[in-house]
Amino acid sequence: METGSVLVMNLLSISEHCANYTNAKKFLREKNILRSVAPRCGECHEEMSEIKFRQISIWRCKRHHGRKVSVREGSFLSGRKIEFEKFIMLSYTWAVGISVSGAASLTGLSKASTGKWFSMLRHVCSHHLSRNSSPETHDFSETSSLPPHFRGHVDDFVWRQRYAKSHQDAFDNILLHISQWYRVH
């Protein structure tokens, strides 16, 4: 894993993506967490336009102005209220192994919300392992009898052994695996 100075450098780089809504949305689109191609209207099938609506972006049909779609639609963030900036920071704190309390302090989220988000990220690990492992590389029968909470921690550990040679690898790969599970384009 990285030294303290590399970790600080990566945190500074991540903070640029979290500086504001626009930077965070752009970063999440680059990582294929959010849709970068306009959806089509369900009524006229024309491409929708992205507009600013109450401090956030939405997709709106040019012809049917009442037809609006969240930029989160179909993504891992669909139906969730977390700000894009906080999601990026939260994902990074999870990737580098910061505790729930520490991540809550850094993001301004409650410990309960932070714990739930960490659990969702562990679920991404479990999902990725179940879809991309052969019986020789991961015996799920060993963990299937565990309570789901513990199984998630075991899968988190296995996932990190495979995909997190560094903190940056962990961050990049958790975002990659989210984008592979929730295909938005």
The pLDDT tens digits for 34-47 are 998 999 988 899 99
Q: Residue 44: inside a domain, yes or no?
A: no
State percent of the chain over pLDDT 70. Answer: 86
Q: Residue 63: inside a domain, yes or no?
A: no
Of the candidates 165, 167, 154, the one whose C-alpha atom is nearest the C-alpha of residue 97 is: 167
Give the pLDDT score at 141.
Answer: 45
The answer on pLDDT for 11 being more than 60 is yes
Q: Residue 6: inside a domain, yes or no?
A: no
The answer on pLDDT for 143 being more than 90 is no
Q: Residue 169: inside a domain, yes or no?
A: yes
Note the residue count of the chain: 185
* Beta-carbon count within 10 A of 49 CB: 11
The answer on pLDDT for 147 being more than 70 is no
Q: Residue 65: inside a domain, yes or no?
A: no
Q: Residue 32: inside a domain, yes or no?
A: no
The answer on pLDDT for 137 being more than 80 is no
The answer on pLDDT for 117 being more than 90 is yes
Q: Residue 110: inside a domain, yes or no?
A: yes
Q: Residue 69: inside a domain, yes or no?
A: no
Range of the domain at 97: 81-181
Q: What is the domain count for the chain? A: 1
